[in-house]
Structure 1
Amino acid sequence: MKIKDNVKKKVLDNPVIKKLIEDLNLNQNQIESGIHLFIKIIEEQKKIKELDFLTKIEIYDENSIIGVSVPNKEINKSLKINKYFWLNDITKIEKNIIFGKPKNKENFKLEKNIFYWEYPTLKKENNRNKLGLWFKQYYTNLQNNKYTKGVYIYGKFGLGKSFFLKALTNYLIEKKKNVIFVNTVDLYEKMIRNLEKNSDVNYEIIQKMKKVDILIIDDIGSEKQNSWFLFSTLYPILENRLQEEKTTCFSSLFSLNELKKYWLKGKEMDLIRVERLIEKIRSLTIPIHLEGKNIREL
């Protein structure tokens, strides 16, 4: 069936098709022979999250191209994430956040999905180098199945605390390590709703948080000061992880001393119990205070 010129033009103007033609360096005859395949690819892009297989273009000869079916990497990636990223229904994270170094220090350009170990525009006193040293040690121990204390990263907004922990989560998924990343507010609200429903789900959440290879609790101290949440949920999880030497990481706006003061402002808070909880966190982690400029402003 002959394809109309206006349809052909629209297909060839599609950014995905433009890039494909450029990457494969297709000549005019090859392009003409593959218009129907390009249309198929454009249609697949609209429902990419539902398809098990996608069309890949290969060069047949100087005058023509062919389409072959290949597994959908997005589907495979989602399956991997669901397998290793436990409790991912509580807090979603961006799948594409990774660690990286600036490609060009002289003409530095910030990319929103990369956690940079160093910024040419930032001084070293922001303590990112300490995070790098911890990660190097963690990586080494990971290869040898050795325990590493986690990090307690604290500091003001916009310094990359959560960003680092999200990149770490994605890194661990790639290494096929079971990981839980939860924002404390999300976790608190989820568990309170489960309580109201008289659900048994909270028990399952607690058990998973005890057993997971690495537990990452983001923005601790942003939740409501609730004695049930702290002492019936958080405390037994951390106690178990300390006994079994399982890596546990946190981010917070507060230092541990400030976190203690914040928690003690809540009703029915007991000084001894709060101090014990703070001591669990202290025993599980190395504190790293991020300082410097708000990265979002760079």
Structure 2
Amino acid sequence: MMVKKEFLWLIWNCNIMREVKKSKIEKITDTDLKNLHQELGINSDVNSLKNVSFPKSFLNGIKNNELFKNCGKLSDTDVSLNAVQLQRIVNEEEECKLSSSDVCPFNGYHFAVDRDKETNFLVFYYRICKKLETQVLYRENQKNFLYNSYALLKQFPSLKNENIQTSISKNNFLKEFMDIYRNDLNYGIYTYGVQGVGKTHFFKLVCNKIITEKKKQRTAALISMVDLVETLKNSFSDKNNPKYEKIIQAINRADFLFFDDLGAEFATDWFYSNIFLNILDNRLSTNKATFFNSNLNFKEYEEKILKSCKNKDPHIAKRIIVRIKRLVNNKVIEMKDKKFSSL
């Protein structure tokens, strides 16, 4: 039986794509090329398909499917002779989209088709799934994310997707942040406002901007104050727990450090004088940008620290506030949820 050129093209393309698969992902099962014919459901006796009559609705459905727009105009003959493969492409795409999992059900590669410009044949191959692309990009970005108190949230919001129709105070925050980021300034911003106004959300936005920017290659750490204090407490009972050391290393190394929910922590005077004060001093001495958000303004946060310290050392609270003000260069934004129509 004479082997068709289309099939030779198919074997060549699949071979190449599988080499890509092996280099990108480990432990992906690979079907032997001798079984490729059976795996892809190809009927080598193409002439036998010429006598098969497909419903017009099926032919039109395939011809008008956006998945095949790169093939140019498909003819009824194109669809009839490649019905099994084309339908497989549709099925895999739909199954992957309908899957609630972040992991592609086809090991990260979908069956796909293109038209060879020289022979005009339809060429079938494997293409990388968007879910896998997202996972690879996520893993690459995480190299710049030294610590994330919200690690369970895989996909952070993006500035590109953010609705510009937001509050004036939030836009002021974004403008101030972009000025600091683009000009490599060594200070941050203190943001405060009522609970639920979106302070943490905006910290996630700017963290995502930092870790996904390829040109600057800056590192970031997003630290929940509650997480920091609780991890410190747990480290006393579990000396082998590496989490606290990881947080401290991230705090010291991060180009951009974000303290989330300042004032929500339940801490003692020992934490403020021996841990937090030292952290702030280290950030000042290394000239690294440090950001804070809180439900409390400076005065309220100072009172909160005094209360936590039970007035043992009234100077601790004042020293902390002074250092925070220096770290943010006195840039304070009260975040409100009031909407506006235009800037």
Using the size of structure 1 for normalisation, the TM-score is: 0.73
Structure 2, unaligned stretches of length 5 or more? 1-40, 43-57
User: Is the 1:141–1:148 contact (alpha carbons within 8 Å) kept by the matching residues of 2?
Assistant: no
3-state SS in 2 of match to 1:219: strand
1:180-220 deviations in Å (ceiling 9; x for gaps)? 01222222222222222124632342132112111111111
1:290 is aligned, of 318, 335, 341, to: 335
Q: Structure 1 residues 274, 137: CA separation in 2 closer, same or farther (over 3 Å shift)?
A: same
> Which residue does the alignment assign to 2:209?
171
State whether structure 2 residue 66 is matched by structure 1 residue 22: yes
State the partner residue of 1:246: 288
Distance change in 2, residues 1:99/1:275 (3 Å): same
SS in 2 for 1:49: coil
Aligned twin of 1:260: 302
Distance in 1 separating the partners of 2:224 and 2:252:
16
2:110 counterpart SS class: strand
**Partner SS state of residue 195, structure 2:** coil
Q: Which residue type is aligned with residue 59 of structure 1?
A: D
Contact persistence 2:186–2:289 (CA under 8 A): yes
Greater share of strand residues, 1 or 2? 1
Deviations 1:155-204, CA, capped at 9 Å, x for gaps: 11232211111010000011231110122222222222222212463234
**Cα distance change on mapping 1:228 and 1:183 into 2, 3 Å:** same
**1:49 has 2:87 as partner:** no
> Is the CA contact (8 Å cut-off) linking 1:184 and 1:218 kept in structure 2?
yes
- Distance, in Å, in 2 between the alignment partners of 1:157 and 1:75 is 32
1:103 counterpart residue number: none
Give the AA of the match of 2:115: Y
Percent identity, aligned pairs only, is 21
One-letter identity of the residue aligned with 1:192:
K
In structure 1, stretches of 5+ residues that fail to align are 3-11, 13-17, 101-113
How many residue pairs were aligned?
A: 259
Q: Letter of the aligned partner of 2:323 in structure 1?
A: K
Quote the Cα distance in structure 2 between the aligned partners of 1:224 and 1:75. 36
Cα 1:150–1:53 change in 2 (3 A) is same
Letter in 2 for 1:240: N
Larger Rg belongs to? 2
> How far apart, CA to CA, are the structure 2 residues paired with 1:136 and 1:90?
23
Aligned twin of 1:212:
254
Partner Cα separation in structure 1 for residue 273 and residue 300 of structure 2: 18
- 1:69 aligns with 127
State the partner residue of 1:152. Answer: 190
Q: Determine helix, strand or coil for the equivalent of 1:194.
A: helix
Task: Specify which of 84, 89, 109 is matched with residue 144 of structure 2.
Answer: 84
* Cα distance per residue 1:248-286 (max 9 Å; x no partner): 111110001111111211245521112111111111112
**Distance across 1 between alignment mates of 2:188 and 2:107:** 37
Write the distance in 2 (CA, Å) between the matches of 1:294 and 1:133. Answer: 17
Distance in 2 between residues matched to 1:242 and 1:259, nearest whole Å: 20
Picking from 173, 187, 190, the partner of 2:231 is 190
Offset from partner CA, 1:1-23 (integer Å, 9 cap, x none): 59xxxxxxxxx9xxxxx9x9335
Residue 37, structure 1, aligned to residue 89, structure 2: yes
- Maintained 8 Å contact 1:84/1:179: yes
Call closer, same or farther: CA 1:91–1:233 in 2, change over 3 Å: farther
Check whether the contact 1:211–1:241 (CA below 8 A) recurs between aligned residues: no
Alignment correspondent of 1:276: 319
Residues 125-161 of structure 1: CA distance to partner in whole angstroms, max 9, x if unpaired?
xx2342133123123313xxxx331011101123221
Counterpart AA for 1:253: N
**Partner of 2:159: helix, strand, or coil?**
strand
RMSD across aligned C-alpha pairs, in angstroms? 3.3
Q: Aligned partners of 2:170, 2:149: CA distance in 1, in Å?
A: 30
Instruction: State the distance in 2 between where 1:65 and 1:237 align.
Output: 59
Distance 2:96 2:170 in 1: 42
Residue 87 of structure 1: SS of its match in structure 2? Answer: strand
Equivalent AA in structure 2 for residue 140 of structure 1: R
